[in-house]
Amino acid sequence: MLVALGIVGALESQAFLLYAGVGLFLFYYASKLLLQLKIMALDRLDITRKFSPRIFEGTALEVEVGFVNRTFVRFPVEFLDSYPPFFRIRSGVNAAVINIPAKGFAEVRYKVAPTSIGSNFFGPLKLITRDLAGLFFYERSILEAVPSVVEVT
């Protein structure tokens, strides 16, 4: 629309609308290309979830989620680690936005405490990355690559 207004108004030297339209189109295109680059990096991200597979009732379980980026792309990631439904969070957070540096790693730790005994399952680890303007996003759920069972005795 800005391009059309710029062409119509170009006779009256309102070319700034044309330039704004072309600039917005180029920003949209570049933002989409950067998101595709982030998606490639997110798919190559090595993710680990470490915790003790067996704990006693009344003790807190420390969960450590690690992200290793082996690419040359630094990108922010929104993550959500779904802890078992019969656990309650004691310290730290299980959802955050973190910047994973290029050729680097990031780590998040939190503690949860069980409310009952038995075998409990962690849910999937969800990762979301967005483009610069927040118009597009990519979401990835991971369940197979990380351990997911804790036994409470």
Contacts of 133 (CB under 8 A, 6+ apart): 27, 28, 31
What the block records as the tokens of 132 is 């610069």
What is the rounded CA–CA span in Å between residue 43 and residue 140? 8
CA-based Rg of the chain, rounded to a whole angstrom? 22
| Surface-to-core class of residue 134, CB atoms within 10 Å of its CB (0-12 exposed, 13-18 middle, 19+ buried) | exposed
For each of the chain's 153 residues, which pLDDT tens digit applies?
A: 555 655 555 556 566 667 777 788 888 888 888 889 999 999 999 999 999 999 998 899 999 999 999 999 998 999 999 999 999 999 999 999 999 999 999 999 999 999 989 999 998 999 999 988 888 889 999 877 677 889 999
User: Mapping DSSP to helix (H, G, I), strand (E, B) and coil, where does residue 131 land?
Assistant: coil
Amino acid at 31: S
Q: Which residue has the tokens 């922010």?
A: 76
